[in-house]
């Protein structure tokens, strides 16, 4: 039996779950523990099939719209980490549904910023990707037409506001740092008086995971991002790796997704995970490589993370006695 070839694995740190994702998953699990099944969840709680399937097995029922939920149910309804338009909680209230809001607090921060700009009479630009649930939720905080979506640098070059001196911008939390910086620079060049966020809207977890990939991608032959195709922050990690010169940069939801023909001649592999991807899948992928290679593992760190977001009040442990 021939010896397996050596493979250096470089793990990006931080990777995987962020505080907002932990809070969202814990909200569903605590609701199941406290109120029993079913617990309805509007949209995937986070964009990860493994996580969603695990919650389904415990009794969560995922729906895209509240209309799919039976009338007169007393079961909790959880809003996903991505946030929802204002019409959704209003609809839930009109139907007397018991709702739990698992929106990431950093997304809620963007909602509040947009509301303040609107109150001050400013025309608002939202930098983000159309149809992503976070963007749909942010657009839905204000009346139609109050927010204009900017998706590309070309949009930033050509957009024509009503009053160039009375503008503001907010951004989706899971964007590419570099792409967003380019768009913001174009807007500021064209509209010097534009109001931006006091603190960056792109969340700490997105930023830190991209910074780690920037360190690792130039020094490995290939890089795998554990994450789902509909996960914005995971797709951005793959794009960052490509931009940093890594010729093989792929997204994988599970080890079974790996196209081994692309990894036949590599001597080093970077691995990271999007903010909604669990560490167990990173381990699963490393095990799959360990069957074919002798692994030598090291970690490259870009930042320390110790953020924590408290759960919705109704499912906090201290609420158990209420």
Alpha helices in 64-152 (DSSP H): 87-94, 105-119, 133-139
Burial (0-12, 13-18, 19+ Cβ within 10 Å), 66 = buried
Give the per-residue SS3 of 130-199. CCCHHHHHHHCCCCCCCEEEECCHHHHHHCCCCCCCCEEEEECCCCCHHHHHHHHHHHHHHCCCCECCCC
Query: Taking the CB of residue 191, how many other CB atoms lie within 10 A of it?
Result: 21
The answer to whether 34 and 320 have CB atoms below 8 angstroms apart is yes
Contact 191, 197 (CB under 8 A): no
Containing 241, the helix (H) or strand (E) segment is helix 232-243
Nearest CA to 53 out of 40, 44, 42 is that of 44
Rounded Cα distance between 26 and 10, Å, is 30
Mark whether 134 is an active-site residue. yes
Q: Which of 44, 134, 154, 318 is catalytic?
A: 134
Closest to 67 (Cα-Cα) out of 42, 37, 102, 101:
42
> Looking at the annotation, which residues are catalytic?
134
């Amino acid at each position: 039996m021939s010896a397996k070839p050596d493979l250096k694995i470089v793990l990006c740190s931080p990777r995987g779950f962020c505080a907002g994702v932990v809070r969202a998953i814990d909200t569903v699990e605590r609701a199941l523990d406290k109120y029993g099944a079913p617990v309805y969840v509007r949209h995937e709680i986070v964009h990860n099939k493994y996580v969603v399937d695990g919650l389904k097995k415990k009794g969560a029922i995922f729906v895209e719209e509240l209309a799919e939920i039976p009338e007169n149910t007393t079961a909790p309804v959880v809003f996903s980490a991505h946030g929802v338009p204002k019409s959704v909680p209003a609809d839930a209230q009109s139907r007397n549904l018991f709702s739990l809001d698992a929106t990431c607090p950093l997304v809620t921060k963007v909602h509040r910023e947009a509301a303040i700009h609107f109150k001050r009479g400013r025309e608002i630009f939202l930098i983000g990707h159309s149809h992503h649930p976070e963007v749909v939720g942010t657009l839905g905080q204000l009346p139609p037409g109050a927010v204009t979506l900017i998706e590309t640098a070309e949009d930033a070059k050509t957009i024509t506001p009503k009053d160039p001196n009375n503008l503001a911008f907010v951004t989706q939390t899971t964007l590419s740092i570099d792409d967003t910086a380019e768009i913001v620079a174009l807007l500021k060049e064209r509209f010097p008086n534009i109001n931006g966020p006091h603190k960056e809207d792109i969340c700490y977890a997105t930023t830190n995971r991209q910074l780690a990939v920037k360190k690792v991608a130039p020094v490995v032959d290939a890089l795998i991002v554990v994450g789902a195709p509909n996960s914005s922050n995971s797709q951005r990690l793959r794009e960052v790796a490509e931009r940093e010169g890594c010729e093989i940069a792929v997204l994988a939801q599970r080890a079974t997704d790996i196209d081994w023909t692309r990894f036949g001649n590599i001597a080093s592999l970077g691995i990271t995970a999007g903010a909604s991807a669990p560490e167990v899948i990173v381990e699963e992928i490393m095990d799959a490589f360990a069957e074919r290679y002798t692994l030598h593992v090291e970690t490259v760190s870009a930042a320390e993370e110790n953020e924590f977001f408290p759960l919705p009040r109704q499912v906090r442990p201290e609420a158990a006695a209420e």
